[in-house]
Amino acid sequence: MEDFAFGILPKLTTVSSVSGGSILNGFLATRLSSPLRNGIADFDNAVSKPVRQFCSLDIRRWIALEVVIPGTHNSSGLAKQYDEHLTSRKLLKDIPAAPIHIFCATDLACGVNWMFKRQECGDYQVGFQETPDNWRVSTAVAASSCFPPVFKPLNLDLDPTNRTGGKIPPSPQRDKCIRELTFTDGGVYDNLGLEPIWKDHGIVLCSDGGALFHVGGDTGFVWEVDRFISIPENQALAVRKRWLISNFAAKRLVGTYWGIGSTAYDYGVQQGIQTISPRTSLPRSEPTWTVSPKPKHRC
């Protein structure tokens, strides 16, 4: 990881994130002693340990209770927790200019990807505006990671004036739509965070931390409802992955993809590194070389 921190991180021009990835992106944008482009001298102590410490905090209990309380928006409470424990109350205007940090959320009104950036925010349907001076990084992270149904959609007080672009023509209905926009987890629209970068970046490193789709038998109504939701999500993700990897193969893009379900076998490699996940109460295990088994089921 030290080699990655010094060799690749300083060369990044853009960091695009969704969902849980925006938690790490928010940390990188606000908590490093120097900009990411300078590299990270001690990745373990500078990033890994404090992020793991944050993830060990129980910030869900009382926020989750607000799900059943009418008139509350627990996603706002989530933003407050991020503000206090993760992003040091930093404003979007205050984060480094390079690399560009993009926090992706899903615009529920238009059904498209919404981007929070240092200088601007918006989407291609309602247009873009200059990022308000008082918007915090924690708000962008919360909008990007308010995973439904645990967290309610995040509502922002948006001004429909002074916007540029946008496919929706100006009208009272458009202005009302913008004022009432709500946002949910960015992974609902694009779980790989590719939308902001695929048109104008030539080198793409894609890290997929999304949940795996597991094969299983019918256990009743709840299982069926979950399947009705998760199968279209899995299909949309598969299409994006195929598009990305096919562009790598055709050399239209340079880069790589890795996910929590990736195996060396999928890429024609006979050996891969197998290691126990660190940062537990157990002694740390050194990596060992092992032959990657052929998976029994691949869906």
Per-residue model confidence as pLDDT tens digits over 221-238? 877 787 777 787 888 888
Give the separation between CA 70 and CA 298, rounded to whole angstroms.
42
Quick check: is 11 in a domain?
yes
- pTM, 2 dp: 0.82
What is the pLDDT, as a whole number, of residue 72?
Answer: 53
User: Do 167 and 193 lie in a common domain?
Assistant: yes
For residues 240 and 276, membership in a common domain is answered with: no
- From residue 280, give the alpha-carbon distance in Å to each of 46, 56, 86, 150, 284: 18, 11, 21, 26, 8
Q: How far is CA 3 from CA 17, 35, 42, 86, 258, in A?
A: 22, 17, 10, 25, 17
The answer to whether residue 206 sits within a structural domain is no
The two beta strands, 127-130 and 14-17, are: unpaired
pLDDT tens track for 1-54: 555 655 788 888 999 999 999 999 999 999 987 777 777 777 888 888 999 999
- Do 233 and 177 lie in one domain? The reply is no
Note down the domain range covering 229: 211-262
**What local confidence, expressed as pLDDT, does residue 298 receive?**
37
49 plus 150 within the same structural domain: yes
Q: Do 171 and 49 share a structural domain? A: yes
Question: How many structural domains is the chain composed of?
Answer: 3
Per-residue pLDDT for 182 more than 70?
A: yes
Residues 43 and 182 in one domain: yes
Q: Are residues 48 and 171 located together in one domain of the fold?
A: yes
Contact 189, 195 (CB under 8 A): yes
